[in-house]
Amino acid sequence: MVNQVYHTPVLLKDCIDALQIDPKGIYVDVTFGGGGHSKEILKQLSTKGKLFGFDCDEEADQNKLASKRFTLIARNFKELKEALLEKKVTKIDGLLADLGVSSHQFDTAERGFSTRLDSDLDMRMNKKVGRPASEIIRTYSEANLRRIFWEYGELRNSPQVVKKIIANRHQLNTVNELKEAIAGCAERGKENQFYAKVFQALRIEVNDELTALKELLMQSKEVLKAGGRIAVISYHSLEDRLVKNFFRSGKFEGEIETDVYGNVKGPFKVISRKPIIPGEEEIQQNSRARSAKLRIAERTNDD
């Protein structure tokens, strides 16, 4: 049974509507998490339909749906195409991605995602793979750390932040130790936003999130059948920009190619010209939905 406390699904109805689910179709939720979105997709499927969930966090296994139509794949979604081929699936009818960190991950102190809870600086989605944030802080060059906080955290004072980190780097093993070391870099009254950007930057680097997103989008073009839908929820401008550009042009930089008639050439037809955002009622019920943006596209017949 799905643990509803694990994570509250964001823009649930909008996502289900966006996929235009065929009861006999094959669907993929590449960010299974607490299973909230998957549970609703499964309700729409007949006995002939299939749903695959991806999640590299081993704790997501506790939410696995008890249905023969559902398969949970314990892998990163950047391995989408390969993992589906292993299940003898080459084409799917729809794909959903909710790119946010789950409430469970934020609220489990030892994961190191939250700025509110003291713990080891880890931040790995899959604790068996990669380097924790504390190791990145200790070993990266000053130039590389500046790049992370400038590009992924969009911090204007990234040089100042990095100097504080470098000066204390061998003592920064926990959330609170990092916060204390860089506290003087935060604008008065905006401390929470500052720490959120710092932690976002580290988390993106730890999990190589933007590379994984690019690989997912490229592979979605290959596995979605013509007319198949893809729905992606992003939570910050870096993700949203990649999704927007790729849906519009099939390229991450967003260059647009047109045919002789001026029609945009690309693998997708954009369904949502503007992102769908949560209403005030949803935000009141789930404050973590506040920054969510849902974009929808449909696979065309273009190669």
* pLDDT tens sequence across 76-101: 999 999 999 999 999 999 999 999 87
What are the structural domain ranges in the chain?
12-103+209-299, 110-207
- Given a cut of 50, whether residue 4 has pLDDT beyond it is no
Average pLDDT score over residue span 253-271: 77
Q: Tell me, what's the pLDDT at 260?
A: 66
Could you tell me how many helices (H) and strands (E) the chain has, helices first? 12, 9
Top pLDDT among 103 and 243 is at: 243
266-275 pLDDT tens trace: 899 999 889 9
- Given a cut of 90, whether residue 62 has pLDDT beyond it is no
User: How far is Cα 224 from Cα 91, in angstroms, rounded to an integer?
Assistant: 6
Q: Tell me, what's the pLDDT at 31?
A: 95
- Given a cut of 60, whether residue 6 has pLDDT beyond it is no
Sorting pLDDT into bands at 50, 70 and 90, what band is 104?
very low
Rg (CA), the chain: 20
Report which of 89, 84, 45 is spatially closest to residue 67, judged by C-alpha positions.
45
Average pLDDT score over residue span 16-29: 98
Q: Tell me, what's the pLDDT at 254?
A: 60
- Given a cut of 80, whether residue 109 has pLDDT beyond it is no
The half-sphere exposure of 35 on its side-chain side, counting CA atoms within 13 A, is 23
Topology of the domain covering 12-103+209-299? Rossmann fold (3.40.50)
- Given a cut of 50, whether residue 3 has pLDDT beyond it is no
Q: Tell me, what's the pLDDT at 303?
A: 58
The half-sphere exposure of 149 on its side-chain side, counting CA atoms within 13 A, is 27
Class of 110-207 in CATH: mainly alpha
Place of tokens 């065929």: 22
What SS3 state is found at 40? helix
Place of tokens 């643990």: 3
User: How far is Cα 85 from Cα 169, in angstroms, rounded to an integer?
Assistant: 44
Q: How many C-beta atoms surround the C-beta of residue 155 within 10 A?
A: 21
- Given a cut of 50, whether residue 279 has pLDDT beyond it is yes
- Given a cut of 50, whether residue 107 has pLDDT beyond it is no
Q: Give the whole-number percent of the chain exceeding pLDDT 90.
A: 77
User: How far is Cα 65 from Cα 37, in angstroms, rounded to an integer?
Assistant: 11
CB-CB contact of 138 with 129 (8 Å): no
User: How far is Cα 207 from Cα 245, in angstroms, rounded to an integer?
Assistant: 22
- Given a cut of 80, whether residue 247 has pLDDT beyond it is yes
